[in-house]
Structure 1
Amino acid sequence: MKFKALAVALCLGFSAGAANAEPVNLTLSGGNPGGLWSLLGAGMDKAVKATDSDSVITYQATGGGFANIGLLAANRTDLGMVHDAEVKLALTGQDPFKAPVTNMMAIGYMYNWAPMHFFLNKDVAEEYGIDSLDDLAGSGAPISIGINRSGNITGNVALFMLAEAGLDEATLTGNGGNFVRAGANEQGDLMQDGRIDMATNGIFIGHSSFRAIDENVDVVLLQIPQNVIDATNEEFGTSAYTIPADSYSNQAEPVETMALGAMVVTTESMEDDTAYTLAKSFVEHIDEIRGVHKAMQQLNPELMVSQTVLPFHPGAERAYEEAGLLK
């Protein structure tokens, strides 16, 4: 009986200890104020508060994923929102990183449905017989192509995909065209003003910048060869994606492409119990994160563990194993 009482006491003690885990108080480095990542930060804060009302995740606006990886590498932030493609570059020390970043560990994937789009002016497409990315180089068309600003991973991805399809900068300028660095909304304005012929970006289907282009300019969405998609996924750790038919005005057929994903990352210095609490809170209170934006409705626990570019933090891994999401 004494042994039984001791066992019960120990179990109760362990249960009480688990229930009374310390609240988390962490900083999440994200992106622009008011952007999706800031909304995700608010959702994560609600999720941890649902577990413990004293917990706090404070959102810190930054220049985006590249900047956040730099902060993580220097142990100057607790958590960072990053794209999978940015992590892949960081792990191998590719530009803009001067050396490999090796201290990162994953907490959870937030989305993987930000597909690369290539919108081309319909008149240009018809004049030069272009309906696929690999038609551009040989067409001889003097196209001005919008590429996201330096420091935004979608610019790196777009340039890589175009080069894989045969259109590097030398070929483009030889055809009389050029690259124009501009953000998503700027590209929409430039398309409407006729200052660029093509817009490129990797964000959600129907994003406001894409709607502005589709509604105000007669454009076609270019197909992407499978070899370009495969090479891009290999290079950046991204995944294949299909933009459904009729997502845009002149798009009668599905368009195969690839999509960027974003995840919450920490460092190996985070305590196991903290990472455990984070991951457990995100799974158990996932509706708090899903509810921040209609684009997040696809998020589910299985998606959270589907990233492949980083090892999970041991604490997060334990939470996912307990939830039956990892073996």
Structure 2
Amino acid sequence: MKLKAFVIAACIGLTAGAAQAEPVNLTLSGGNPGGLWSLLGAGMDRAVKVSDGDSVITYQATGGGFANIGLLGANRTDLGLVHDAEVKLALTGQEPFNAPVTNMMAIGYMYNWAPMHFFLRKDLAEQYNIDSLDDIATSGAPISIGINRSGNITGNVALFMLEKAGLSEAKLTENGGSFVRAGANEQGDLMKDGRIGMATNGIFIGHSSFRAIDENVDVILLQIPQDVIDATNEEFGTSAYTIPSGSYSKQEGDVKTMALGAMVVTTDSMSDDTAYSLAKSFAENIDEIRGVHKAMQQLNPALMVSQTVLPFHPGAERAYKEAGLIK
């Protein structure tokens, strides 16, 4: 009830701010055309148009978060949608970045509920007595494991988590298994065809690729040791998450994991007034963003300011302070 009251109060504060948003004309670098990020781009465009009919956010399809950080770092785009985990790597210059990217500033968090899933074929789980991620290395199971394609942050996260659970690529090879690079939908097809024994990814609960696996393959959702979750959150700036019991047909209990989040990022070259107008429009007209997809229903102004991996742009910070969302 306290959180609900806080959000209501914050929304009242948003409408009471003295300053008015100014029109913006910006380019947003996102991901694949037709994906959730393109829908978010459309929602953001609608949000700024509510504040001022002359405002425009033009969506630019790209290769995703890593590509967007590259564009931001080179000041070749106004805004980018990026995962918090990608930002964490960029700030320290870890692969795929050659050097730290230091000019990024946050406008707002869009979601933090894209949990990592590890689906294992039930026959393998029973044969090798596996119910947790850390059982794989010691089981000796020759599993072919689907890992998202290079350039997708969930591949990095999956490999890190497996390594922390004791399963290096050398150990997997020794057991007779291998890593197979494949996208979300491809992994579902590979599971159905028996070409991989485990699928890994970090996207929303009930995503179509997960439903295809759950409906067409006899699988279990592996538990993840708490120390693996903690190490992953420390490394990538992500957060703990629980996949509730019954989210999938054979999931009998809660599964603790971690979740990636996505945020709108700009650079320090954006003017304070533009960042102010942008953040104010997003927060005041959040229903325009929330309405783009059922997966976005949890978005609220308090969530928008909850990211911790980047400083907020001073203009955005001013808008949120006026709204009572941050101190």
Show structure 1 runs of 4+ deviating over 6 A. Answer: none
The alpha carbon displacement at 1:233 in A equals 0.1
In the other structure, the counterpart of 1:290 is 290
Q: Which residue of structure 2 lines up, in the alignment, with residue 71 of structure 1?
A: 71
Task: After TM superposition, give the deviation of residue 138 of structure 1 in Å.
Answer: 0.2
Give the root-mean-square deviation of aligned CA atoms: 1.1
Equivalent residue number for residue 266 of structure 2: 266
Partners of 1:50 and 1:243 in 2: CA distance: 35
Residues 216-295 of structure 1: pairs in structure 2 closer than 5 A? 216-295=216-295
CA-to-partner distance for each residue in 1:24-54, whole Å, 9 max, x for gaps? 0000000000000000000000000000000
- For residue 288 of structure 2, what is the amino acid of its counterpart? E
Q: 1:197: which partner in 2?
A: 197
Q: Which residue of 2 aligns with 1:13?
A: none
- Counterpart for residue 9 of structure 2: none
Q: Report SS of the residue matched to 1:258.
A: strand
In structure 1, how many angstroms separate the alpha carbons of the residues matched to 2:200 and 2:22? 45
Question: What secondary structure does 1:125 align onto?
Answer: helix
Aligned residue number for residue 150 of structure 1: 150
Asked whether 1:166 is paired with 2:200, we answer no
Match of 1:6 in 2: none
- The equivalences for 1:308-323 within 5 A come to 308-323=308-323
Q: Percent identity over the alignment?
A: 87
Contact kept in structure 1, 2:65 and 2:81, CA below 8 Å: yes
Aligned residues: 311
Deviations 1:12-31 (A, max 9, x none): xxxxx944x64100000000
Which residue is 1:59 aligned to?
59
Distance 1:268 1:326 in 2: 20
Q: For the residues of structure 2 that align with 1:284 and 1:309, how far apart are their CA atoms?
A: 24
* 2:7 corresponds to: none
1:151 aligned counterpart, secondary structure = coil
CA deviation after TM superposition for structure 1 residue 249, in Å:
1.1
Partner residue in 2 for 1:38: 38
- SS class of match (1:157): helix
Structure 2 alignment gaps of length 5 or more: 1-17
- Stretches of structure 1 that go unaligned for 5 or more consecutive residues are 1-16
Distance of 2:244 and 2:252 partners within structure 1: 9
Report the CA distance between 1:189 and its aligned residue. Answer: 0.2
Matches of 1:106 and 1:23, distance apart in 2: 19
Higher relative contact order (CA closer than 8 Å, sequence separation 6+): 2
1:90-239 equivalences under 5 Å are 90-239=90-239
Instruction: Tell me the SS of whatever aligns to 1:106.
Output: strand
Normalization by structure 2: what TM-score?
Answer: 0.94
The Cα of 1:317 is off from its aligned counterpart by 0.2
Shift of 1:238: 0.1
- In 2, Cα distance between equivalents of 1:249 and 1:131: 16
User: In the aligned structure 1, how far is the partner of 2:82 from the partner of 2:177?
Assistant: 32
Distance in 1, matches of 2:301 and 2:134, equals 37
Q: Distance between the aligned counterparts of 1:320 and 1:174, measured in 2?
A: 53
Instruction: Tell me, yes or no, if the aligned pair for 2:22 and 2:277 is still in contact at 8 Å.
Output: no
CA–CA separation in structure 1 for the residues paired with 2:204 and 2:125: 24
Structure 1 counterpart of 2:118, one-letter code: F
Per the alignment, residue 7 of structure 1 pairs with none
- Report the equivalent of 1:8: none
Q: Which residue matches 1:81? A: 81
What is the identity, as a one-letter code, of the residue corresponding to 1:122?
A: K
TM-score by length of 1: 0.94
Q: Separation in 1 of the partners of 2:302 and 2:225? A: 29
When Rg is computed on C-alpha atoms for both structures, the one with the higher figure is 1
d(CA) in 1 for partners of 2:122, 2:175: 18
Q: Say which SS state the counterpart of residue 134 (structure 2) adopts.
A: helix
Q: Which letter maps to 1:211?
A: R
